[in-house]
Amino acid sequence: MTNGMYHQIREAWKKPNSVILRKRMIEWRKSEAQVKVEKPLRLDKARALGYKAKKGFVIIRIRLKRGGHRKERPIKGRKGKRMHTRKNLMMSYQWIAEQRVQRKYPNLEILNSYLIGKDGIYAFYEVICVDPQRQEIKKDKTLNWITNPKNKKRAMRGLTSSAKKSRGLRNKSPMNKSRPSKKAGKKLNPNSGRRYILHR
């Protein structure tokens, strides 16, 4: 039994050709930060995330600068143990990329995104966008849910797949305190280190 085309593409992306990928990233650095592309580079990944070759779908390639996930050290006087810096990793690069595309294209809705390459300075993503005003999208039974007004600004509200992963909603363990939010989970967790005053 022979494997299909999408299996071959998926296997090829597990160990991509470093020379070809490096040449592509050099060209991507010279272009603008957000560029519309005709077809997705990783066709297997795009199709798995809901992409279809029909009107109403738009692929945006975005260049995102890596770094900046560390809080700045305070300049004014503080206690010694308060002067260290901590990493702020609440939002992944992928979620940040989706939000930037959403701000630039407010008439489109973000469906999903995936990584296509990264080097020491930049990370490159392809974001799958959908135009909810197109009749092709409204008539599609598998995609017309995105035309519902409740699903507006999905990336800004943390409803995409990468955003849910950053919010800690992938873990369905009963000990997970990420629902309804991380801050609310800390309040509900008696072992979070907070003191509770009981009023009699």
Burial of 114 (0-12, 13-18, 19+ CB in 10 A): buried
Residue spans of the domains in the chain: they are 5-70+85-166
Provide the greatest CA pair distance for the chain: 73
Residues 6+ apart with CB under 8 A from 28: 61, 63, 117, 122, 124
Contact 110, 127 (CB under 8 A): yes
pLDDT tens profile 28-81: 999 999 999 999 999 999 999 999 999 999 999 999 998 877 766 667 666 666
Give the number of other Cβ atoms within 10 Å of residue 167's Cβ: 17
Q: What is the pLDDT of residue 67?
A: 82
Contact 123, 95 (CB under 8 A): no
Lowest mean pLDDT across 17-26, 85-94, 132-141, 143-152: 85-94
Q: What is the pLDDT of residue 197?
A: 46
Residue 88 host element (H or E): none
Residue 194 host element (H or E): none
- Domain 5-70+85-166 annotated CATH 3.40.1120.10: yes
Quote the DSSP letter at residue 87: B
Q: What is the pLDDT of residue 27?
A: 95
- The SS3 of residue 38 is coil
Q: What is the pLDDT of residue 196?
A: 43
pLDDT tens profile 158-187: 999 999 998 888 887 777 777 777 777 666
